[in-house]
């Protein structure tokens, strides 16, 4: 049961990428102002998750040097994958002749980013079930704009809705797999708990700083992105206090 629950929570969070695909199918056009606000919201959610959830719990279960090493390892791992694996950063949502290729590259990028999120839910639930629940809810909210980022280029390429919805859903399926791995690791060997949580936090902070914030500020809607960031940050902070 210990392993089943975080996997199910992470599965629900992963399925939220499909909800982003649904929005793409329903909206006639996603304007850049809304898109940047959603990216800012996602950045705020991930920053608060890393700060008030993962790192706080990691320091409660391990020593500061161990936590610092875990954060550095998580950021370094994402940097290495960012350099080695072929993918593309979040695009302008507009049709072009390379939209299909862009969709594939974004699928790879988002699937990669979903791995530390699943790891976070799995390890957090083992440490504190309420924290695992909070993270699953917050990550589900964050996954909606990720699903939109994947589905948008596929729609621009002329792909039918059922297919780009399937691509968006498939990206989120990395999360329950990573959640199972993270939960199994810390259940098998408890000393890994603070390292795994710090690793997930470092990976999330890397994504926020390297991708989400720069992209959300690159189209002339910096204020909308900032307000979205604050909204996401405050939402997770409020949920943290409500579930405490």
Residue 190 has phi, psi (to 5 degrees) of -55, -35
Q: What is the rounded distance in angstroms from the CA atom of residue 144 to the CA atom of residue 39?
A: 10
Instruction: Parse the chain into domains and list their residue ranges.
Output: 4-243
- For helices 174-188 and 161-172, angle between their N-to-C axes, nearest 10 degrees: 10
Per-residue pLDDT of 100-134, as tens digits, reads 776 777 787 778 778 888 888 888 888 888 888 88
Residue 152 has pLDDT above 80, yes or no: no
At 183-242, the pLDDT tens digits run 888 888 878 888 888 988 898 898 888 878 888 898 889 999 999 999 989 988 887 776
Task: Please say if the pLDDT value at position 72 is more than 90.
Answer: yes
Mean pLDDT value of segment 178-186: 87
Residue 56 to residue 67: CA distance in whole angstroms: 10
- The two structure tokens encoding residue 205: 């902070």
CA distance 105 to 83: 13
Q: Are 85 and 113 in contact (CB under 8 A)?
A: no
The angle at the Cα of 109, spanning 139 to 38, to the nearest 5 degrees, equals 45
**Cα 234 → chain centroid:** 17
Do 21 and 207 form a contact (C-beta atoms < 8 A)? no
> Which range has highest mean pLDDT (15-29, 85-99, 108-122, 160-174)?
160-174
Mean pLDDT of the chain: 82
Helix axes 4-26, 161-172, angle to 10 degrees: 150
SS3 171: helix
Residue range 155-170: average pLDDT? Answer: 86
């Amino acid at each position: 049961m210990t392993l089943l629950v975080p996997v199910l929570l992470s599965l629900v969070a992963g399925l939220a990428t499909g909800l982003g695909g649904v929005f793409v199918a329903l909206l006639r056009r996603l304007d850049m102002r809304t898109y940047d606000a959603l990216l800012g919201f996602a950045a705020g959610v991930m920053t608060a998750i890393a700060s008030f959830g993962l790192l706080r719990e990691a320091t409660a279960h391990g020593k500061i040097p161990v936590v610092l090493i875990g954060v550095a390892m998580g950021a370094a791992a994402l940097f290495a994958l960012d350099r080695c694996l072929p993918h593309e950063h979040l695009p302008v949502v507009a049709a072009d002749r390379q939209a299909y290729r862009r969709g594939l590259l974004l699928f790879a990028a988002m699937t990669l980013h979903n791995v530390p999120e699943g790891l976070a839910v799995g390890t957090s639930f083992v440490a504190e079930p309420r924290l695992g629940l909070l993270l699953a809810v917050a990550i589900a909210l964050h996954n909606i704009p990720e699903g939109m980022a994947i589905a948008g280029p596929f729609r621009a390429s002329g792909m039918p809705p059922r297919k780009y919805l399937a691509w968006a859903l498939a990206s989120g399926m990395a999360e329950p797999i990573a959640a199972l791995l993270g939960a199994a690791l810390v259940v098998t060997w408890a000393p890994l708990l603070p390292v795994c949580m710090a690793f997930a936090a470092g990976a999330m902070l890397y994504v926020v700083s390297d991708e989400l914030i720069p992209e959300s500020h690159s189209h002339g809607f910096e204020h909308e992105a900032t307000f979205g960031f604050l909204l996401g940050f405050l939402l997770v902070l409020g949920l943290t206090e409500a579930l405490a």
